[in-house]
Amino acid sequence: MSSPSAVPRLVEQRLAPPGTPGGDLIDGGDAASALLRPVGADGDIDLIRPARVSTAAFTPTSARAEKKLSAILAGDGVLVSTGQQPGLFLGPLYVLYKILSAVSHARRIEQATGRPAVASFWVAADDHDWEEVGTATIVKRSGEIETISMAPLPGDAGRSVGLASLGPEIPPLLDRFGAAAGDSEFAPAALAPLTGSYTPEASVSGAFQSAYAELLDGFDLLLFDPMHAEVRRETVPFLRQALEYGPRMSEAMRDGTTAVASAGYDPRLRPPDAGIQVFFDDGRTRSHLLSEGAGLRNGKSEDLRTTEEWIALLEARPERFSAAAALRPVLESWLVPAARSVLGPGELAYWAQLGPIFELFEVDMPQTAPRSSWIVVEPRVERWLNGIEASAEDLADGGRSIEQRVTREGRPEVIGQELERLTADFEANLDRLERSSQEEIPGLGSAFGKARKSVFSTVAALERAIDGKIRESRGVTLDRVRRATDLLYPGGQPQERIDSPFSFLVRYGPSFLGAVAAAHDGPYGEVVD
């Protein structure tokens, strides 16, 4: 059992590239600003309205958050929203970053306005992507990726994850997950929120919410459960309206898609033309309701009913209905109005299409802010990077450029000079010979081309052999480059999308959570030690 000697460093990275709605919003681009509501000054808050639900739908993680909730429900406080579908065993790192981004925005707004402000995390339990929801990954200390997958119980595949139980296989999966993270003095405390939450009888979303409530105990945060019975009842008027709109929903979606394409962006959402952005769960699967004639059909089934019949079913069984991706942000803003929403790059991309749908339902779009994005650089990785004079971002290409640089630096200068001279001399001599031959023996162009290609290939092979020996001599350094790359960009992907917060909670205990929280206190773009 070991404990670390230092806390890792968090380096902020760009969330979205230029040329995307998220990237251009970060840069203050006019095209993105016309499609989304950019964040202005923290004191410039104009969307403050009462929520349509009671305290029962929220789980506060601190006494302060609970007190602020009363102000929010009364329309006297400011809500900063974010959300994510529930993930197995806390999900990837970016979920934590998204939550603490919202907490940070709320803190700044409260300081600027003097109004109570709090972050709310919408646990998107209506999601049905089991491949994503039922998979957890952890990057071991060695850099190896351990993937833990949970299969849905019989009858739950294709249904909303909020309606599914974890089942008896969850304890051994949790054991595997904990073992993959390794042992330390912090391991028991890090495992406690998961052990108490991920039980066979718990739901996928309930376990996720419970684990984060315990992990973030003391933070000013509200966890929102859209599957709560009260919430389902309160959404009935909104979903009734969506059913009544029918084809108007598709028209609004097409208008939003056209606006995004006209602005030069690739539309993220391509829903079915006949879809009205409402899902129905028939107890077996969750499907879009599709317009057909004067009625609506449940996906590709034979379940065709009039709009009035679907509305009657909605009022009788609201738990079977939910909003699809293009409608969910509008429903959230209608149900629990937020002044600002913290979004990931994919969300920013499809939110840019939703302006006409917000207008259709006469709901104001909140300000849209990108979540933070970080690379966790552990002390040993920091030492390796310092040894090769490289940054974490330098490894984003899989470490290839650094490996090439290390190899070049290990090559004696005289060898490099001789290789260059050899190539130059051969090319000059071959050019002279070809010119002389063309005068005396025409028709040898292809032969000279083959010769040039063959010799250059031989020289390249010689250079590779030399570099191979150099790499052998610099094996320790190159091994550190590869190990650092495996930890910072596991599987060639951003660390935040693969690794779990649990990895670092086991290695660093509460100090890791403190480091992430401290990082979010700084201005956007700051590198935090």
Secondary structure, 3-state, 327-353: CHHHHHHHHCCCCEEEECHHHHHHHCC
Predicted confidence at residue 282, as pLDDT, reads 81
Question: How far is Cα 250 from Cα 245, in angstroms, rounded to an integer?
Answer: 9
Predicted confidence at residue 522, as pLDDT, reads 58
Assign 3-class secondary structure to 349-415. Answer: HHHCCCHHHHHHCCCCCCEEEECCCEEEECHHHHHHHHHCCCCHHHHCCCCHHHHHHHHHHHCCHHH
Question: How far is Cα 435 from Cα 218, in angstroms, rounded to an integer?
Answer: 82
Predicted confidence at residue 528, as pLDDT, reads 37
Predicted confidence at residue 318, as pLDDT, reads 92
Q: In whole numbers, what is the pLDDT of the chain averaged over residues? A: 86
Residue ranges per structural domain of the chain: 9-234+326-378+502-519, 397-488
Residues of the chain with pLDDT under 70: 1-5, 47, 128, 158-159, 272-274, 410-417, 439-440, 443, 445, 466-475, 522-529
Predicted confidence at residue 3, as pLDDT, reads 47
Predicted confidence at residue 416, as pLDDT, reads 66
Predicted confidence at residue 27, as pLDDT, reads 85
Predicted TM-score (pTM) of the model is 0.86
| Max Cα–Cα distance, the chain, nearest Å | 97
Strand, coil or helix: 223: strand
Question: How far is Cα 113 from Cα 79, in angstroms, rounded to an integer?
Answer: 13
